[in-house]
Amino acid sequence: LRLGLPEVIYAAGKTPEQVAEIFARMAHAGGDVIATRASIAAWDAVKQMVPQAEYHTDARIIGLRQTDALADAGPVAVLCAGTSDIPVAEEAAVTATYLGVKVERVYDVGVAGLHRLLAQRETLKEARAVIVCAGMEGALPSVVGGLVAAPVIAVPTSVGYGAAFGGLTALLGMLNSCAPNVAVVNIDNGFGAAYVAAMMLRSMHAPSASELLRASQSS
């Protein structure tokens, strides 16, 4: 197993020039690089300096692959409830890919139309971990939690209006999930969900420090 950990730039609140300058410097170091929350303007600046970088529009991620890291851990299923949640789901999916994780996207499977979700039951069952992005009432993780025997990482999104309170309602709902296999990250934090999932896969598969020690001692 190989789980690559690229350098990560959080582009929000940085000028396009700042993002490009940091990106180029990191790219120069030879590893993989991603910038999350990157605007088109940031992308325009980066591609001038690092032509081989790519822009994932929905995910708002600029990425650069320079290592031969294979996305062979997983798979992790990334779900979202509605089409408005796709940017957050894509932030998770693209981040996970750069972290070396194989991703299955299962989008637009909100709980008010159960048949669409149930039709994907097999994909869910295959997943080693499930990332579930939902706004409004944030009910999807509870339903998914009941369908799988894997950890569910829930990402509340800021989708909704009125008493959605910018994602707070979804966040609270997910924290109170009646499914016991659900843990939660910050509102819109697709990046964090992917990171936690990757850590799970890496931590499970990698030999631990003491195993390495014992291995080295026995050789």
Ligand X SMILES: Nc1ncnc2c1ncn2[C@@H]1O[C@H](COP(=O)(O)O)[C@@H](O)[C@H]1O
Q: Which residues bind ligand X (CB under 6 A)?
A: 8-10, 36-37, 82-83, 180, 189, 191-192
109 is a site residue for a copy of itself (CB under 8 A): no
Contact in structure between 80 and 107 (CB atoms under 8 Å): yes
* Residue 173 binding target from ligand X, Mg ion, a copy of itself, none, CB below 5 to 8 Å by type: a copy of itself
Distance of closest approach, residue 71 Cβ to ligand X, in angstroms: 19
Distance of closest approach, residue 144 Cβ to a copy of itself, in angstroms: 9
Closest by alpha carbon to 167, among 130, 190, 137, 141?
137
How far is the C-alpha of 8 from the C-alpha of 189, rounded, in Å? Answer: 14
Cis bond leading into 141, ω under 30°?
A: no
Q: What Rg, from alpha-carbon coordinates, does the chain have?
A: 18
Nearer to a copy of itself, 29 or 163 (CB): 163
179 is a site residue for a copy of itself (CB under 8 A): yes
H/E stretch holding 7? strand 7-10
- Going by the DSSP 8-state scheme, the letter that residue 54 receives in this structure is E
Distance of CA 208 to the CA centre of its chain: 24
Task: Catalog residues that contact Mg ion under the rule CB under 5 A.
Answer: 177, 180, 182, 192
Query: Cα torsion for 208, 102, 143, 174, to the nearest 10°?
Result: 60
* Residue 9 binding target from ligand X, a copy of itself, Mg ion, none, CB below 5 to 8 Å by type: ligand X
Using CB under 8 A, which of 4, 82, 100, 190 touches a copy of itself?
A: 82
Distance of closest approach, residue 14 Cβ to ligand X, in angstroms: 7
129 is a site residue for a copy of itself (CB under 8 A): yes
112 is a site residue for a copy of itself (CB under 8 A): yes
Using CB under 8 A, which of 161, 216, 217, 218 touches a copy of itself?
A: 161
Tokens 């582009």: give the residue: 11
How far is the C-alpha of 15 from the C-alpha of 8, rounded, in Å? Answer: 16
Nearer to a copy of itself, 62 or 157 (CB): 157
119 is a site residue for a copy of itself (CB under 8 A): no
